[in-house]
Structure 1
Amino acid sequence: MSVNFDLPYFPRDGLLQEVLRVFESGLKQGVTLFAPRRQGKTSFVKHELLPAAHEFGWRSYYVDLWKRRGEPELALVEALEAFANHRGLRQRLRLKEVKSKAKAPGAEIEATLEPGGHRPDDSLENRLDAALSALVKDGVTLLVLDEVQSLAGAKREDFVAALRTVLQKFQGKLLVFYTGSSREQLNAMFRKQRAPLFASTMAVQLPELHDDFVDDRLAFLAQRSVATVSKREFVQAFDDLGRTPGFFNELVLHLIIAGDGDLGKAMNAWRKAHVEAGAGAQLESLRPMEMAVMQLLAMRDHPSVYSADAAEFIKRSIDDAESVTPAKIQTAIKKLMRLDLVAPTGKVAGDYEIDDRAILIQLREGLL
């Protein structure tokens, strides 16, 4: 199993200021922050955005849609109703249990709800409208929807359109911050309705972390362990882990637990933990062509998937005399995107990358 541990938060220079400028401009109701998992989106929300909202006097509510991604529309509505009931704004549901989980402003509330007060004809869309109507009564309200791509799988086809309509209704009172990690599912949401959900939003980029982040983790390691690791080796380890802060923090914890400064052993422990947690399990069901595409994309500075060099690499990988055509490669890419294994980079048309960093790292090392 993977190691979970909260190291001190490392701020993202300029990101909070950029988000607040968008909100304060009044030109956009929402901000989107999309990046692969383990990059620090949720940490930014909880350590920077929600405390800043508190300082501004905004009411803020955080909903993690990933926790109930099998029924995200119901999860969103029940979370909003729980917030409203917790504040005593609505009495239409009976709450069996309410837990406040926040250690900082912007409480995340978990509740078990019994639909005691709803009429049989109360639709989720009506409940959504009623809950948000209650929450936006007292000044500016910030709603954070984490892993919003979960709504791409909503069972009710009209729910995303209804959400957009309700959000627009409260423009000027309600600000929305969306995070997401699955770009293919997010694109599906863009295409799902005639009026895209994010038409009234502005996208911001998660700043990359550099050597100053490595210095910070090195200083933390020195505080917690007598073992020493060279900065050069630490920088290399960060690069080997795809410059993914969540993975690097796990590596730091392995070093603290071992206490011997053996970075190679800590890296092996990290790899073993992710393999045991199921990293790469999806690859077992892939066909040879699809697996070859994954291996191609795992290469540093790999050629375009539709290039002659890529076709030659794939042909050698599958050991098949049959010609490898762009159409066959495209079919493989589409399946890999549906599995959330691959996503467009957004930099150049037809440019793709492996979306799951743990799989990327282990493919590069030949462990899968």
Structure 2
Amino acid sequence: MRPNRGFGFRRSALARSIAEGLTGEGLADYSSGLFLAAPRRTGKSTFLREDLIPECLARGWLPVYVDLWANREADPALLISGAIAQALVPFEGRLRKLVKSMGVDRLSILRTLSWDFSKPQLPEGATLAQALGLLHQASGQLVVLVIDEAQHALTTEAGINAMFGLKAARDELNQGQDGDGLRLVFTGSSRDKLAHLVLNTKQPFYGSSVTPFPLLGDDFTRAYTEHLNAHLAEGNQFDPRDVAEAFQLVGCRPELLRTIIAEVSLELGAANNLGELLRNGAELVRAGVWSEFESSYNALTLPQRAVLEVMANCSVANQPFTPFSEVTVQAVGQLLKAWGSEVQASTTTIQAAIEALRDKELVWRASRGAYALEDKSMAEWLQHYRKGAMG
């Protein structure tokens, strides 16, 4: 985590705890898969790259990292297979020896020796299970596949099939006496979206659960405050409590805190004024985000608002949104009636509202018809908005 140049904050204890869970030795057992969810820009990706992956390497494991938002135009399935293919490249020599020792006919992924290792892609027809099996065999290491923003895989049919392929690979490589072939780590910026990988029997990882990613807390703000104060005059120091309050106001997002600190540093006042400057800066940042939500909300029709409100309620309660169920139709109808709308709630009304919300990038749709808020912070803003309206 680097919210200011020269400042580093390691989360080694959390990385160790997760690694122990991946082996099944910790208090929590993540050997069948770990699903971590937290809002955007709260430090998940940084933690993966700077804490968890180094911990895996220190344990002699082989981490393979892929960010499905690195290229949102590419099919997620291609990004996943490409990352695995790239991880195989350093083991080209061992793979060719492995083919000879096993017999070409027993290894369909390398049915011929014409695989071009210079290209970051698997041979046509190769499955993810085969590729990951080869990677485990060639490296002699436990492979830890880390997929950042994994919910994006649900936006295409190929992406969903890739998720099922990873489940098959997990089941195949973790059989036997050691059970140490593959571990899977998935992260997402939306608990609601990530949950669509585990919610029901039609999803690839049904039976697993989504774990909230621990947000940075007081230990981070204390360390950051100490770093900042080392560059300030003794009589003009930040109070750790003020920094912590500002951090909470911006949703525990290090980059936003850095932005506020940079602005405050341009107008440093007396020491007793630093806390007020921080608070004002944080409230302005939050107000800017909420202003965008309010602008989007005000542009909606009443049916669109009603559907969005019901989705937000489901999000806050960590419940799946079932768009065409009787419960949803009734909930939308009650809101429309309360607002004096003459529109009757129906599955047709709800479908039209959802499509409009998708066009406005307020609602996300998985390729098989599941829906979630594009940004869960919208649900938090709606709660605040309702309180203001009632006040």
* TM-score, normalised via structure 1 length: 0.66
Residues in 2 aligned to 1:79 and 1:150: alpha-carbon distance in whole angstroms = 16
Residues in 2 aligned to 1:93 and 1:283: alpha-carbon distance in whole angstroms = 51
Confirm or deny: 8 A CA contact 1:254 1:269 kept in the other structure: no
Say whether 1:251 aligns with 2:271.
Answer: no
2:41 aligned counterpart, secondary structure:
coil
1:39 aligned counterpart, secondary structure:
coil
From the superposition, tell whether residues 222 and 174 of structure 1 become closer, same or farther in structure 2 (CA, over 3 Å): same
Residue-by-residue CA offset, 1:214-269 (whole Å, 9 max, x unaligned):
32232222234556444444333233223444533443344346555432563477
Residues in 2 aligned to 1:23 and 1:154: alpha-carbon distance in whole angstroms = 31
**Residue 263 of structure 1 corresponds to which residue in structure 2?**
278
1:177 aligned counterpart, secondary structure:
strand
Q: How does 1:339-358 map to 2 (within 5 A)?
A: 341=362, 355-357=375-377
Say whether 1:92 aligns with 2:115.
Answer: yes
2:92 aligned counterpart, secondary structure:
coil
Say whether 1:77 aligns with 2:93.
Answer: no
**Residue 286 of structure 1 corresponds to which residue in structure 2?**
300
**Pairwise CA distance, 1:334:** 6.3
From the superposition, tell whether residues 263 and 239 of structure 1 become closer, same or farther in structure 2 (CA, over 3 Å): same
Structure 2 unaligned blocks of 5 or more = 96-113, 322-326, 365-371, 387-391
Say whether 1:174 aligns with 2:182.
Answer: yes
From the superposition, tell whether residues 22 and 55 of structure 1 become closer, same or farther in structure 2 (CA, over 3 Å): same
Residues in 2 aligned to 1:340 and 1:19: alpha-carbon distance in whole angstroms = 36
**Residue 134 of structure 1 corresponds to which residue in structure 2?**
134
**Pairwise CA distance, 1:35:** 2.0
Residues in 1 aligned to 2:155 and 2:62: alpha-carbon distance in whole angstroms = 28
Q: Of 251, 269, 276, which residue of structure 2 is paired with 1:242? A: 251
Residue-by-residue CA offset, 1:93-114 (whole Å, 9 max, x unaligned):
353xxxxxxxxxxxxxxxxx47
Further displaced range: 46-55 or 18-27: 18-27
Residues in 2 aligned to 1:331 and 1:85: alpha-carbon distance in whole angstroms = 47
Residues in 2 aligned to 1:11 and 1:326: alpha-carbon distance in whole angstroms = 49
Confirm or deny: 8 A CA contact 2:304 2:354 kept in the other structure: no
Q: How does 1:29-178 map to 2 (within 5 A)?
A: 29-70=32-73, 71-88=75-92, 92-93=115-116, 95=118, 113=119, 118=123, 122-123=124-125, 126-137=126-137, 138-156=140-158, 158-171=161-174, 172=179, 173-178=181-186
**Pairwise CA distance, 1:79:** 1.4
Residue-by-residue CA offset, 1:150-180 (whole Å, 9 max, x unaligned):
1101232533322321232211211111111
Structure 1 unaligned blocks of 5 or more = 96-112, 344-351
Q: Higher strand share goes to which structure?
A: 1
Q: Higher helix share goes to which structure?
A: 2
Say whether 1:320 aligns with 2:324.
Answer: no
From the superposition, tell whether residues 8 and 330 of structure 1 become closer, same or farther in structure 2 (CA, over 3 Å): farther
2:40 aligned counterpart, secondary structure:
coil
Structure 2 letter corresponding to 1:357: S
Structure 2 letter corresponding to 1:9: F
From the superposition, tell whether residues 225 and 27 of structure 1 become closer, same or farther in structure 2 (CA, over 3 Å): closer
Residue-by-residue CA offset, 1:157-209 (whole Å, 9 max, x unaligned):
53332232123221121111111123343343346874x43247565432344
Residues in 2 aligned to 1:19 and 1:342: alpha-carbon distance in whole angstroms = 34
Residues in 2 aligned to 1:40 and 1:236: alpha-carbon distance in whole angstroms = 18
Q: Does 1 or 2 have the higher relative contact order (CA < 8 Å, sep 6+)?
A: 1
Confirm or deny: 8 A CA contact 2:11 2:47 kept in the other structure: yes
Residues in 2 aligned to 1:212 and 1:364: alpha-carbon distance in whole angstroms = 28
**Residue 223 of structure 1 corresponds to which residue in structure 2?**
230
2:34 aligned counterpart, secondary structure:
strand
Further displaced range: 3-12 or 208-217: 3-12
Structure 2 letter corresponding to 1:286: L
Q: CA RMSD in A?
A: 4.9
**Pairwise CA distance, 1:290:** 3.9
Confirm or deny: 8 A CA contact 2:297 2:305 kept in the other structure: yes
From the superposition, tell whether residues 45 and 289 of structure 1 become closer, same or farther in structure 2 (CA, over 3 Å): same
* TM-score, normalised via structure 2 length: 0.63
Larger Rg over CA atoms: 2
Instruction: Give the number of aligned pairs.
Output: 326
Further displaced range: 81-90 or 18-27: 18-27
Residues in 2 aligned to 1:19 and 1:93: alpha-carbon distance in whole angstroms = 34
Confirm or deny: 8 A CA contact 1:250 1:270 kept in the other structure: no
Structure 2 letter corresponding to 1:83: A
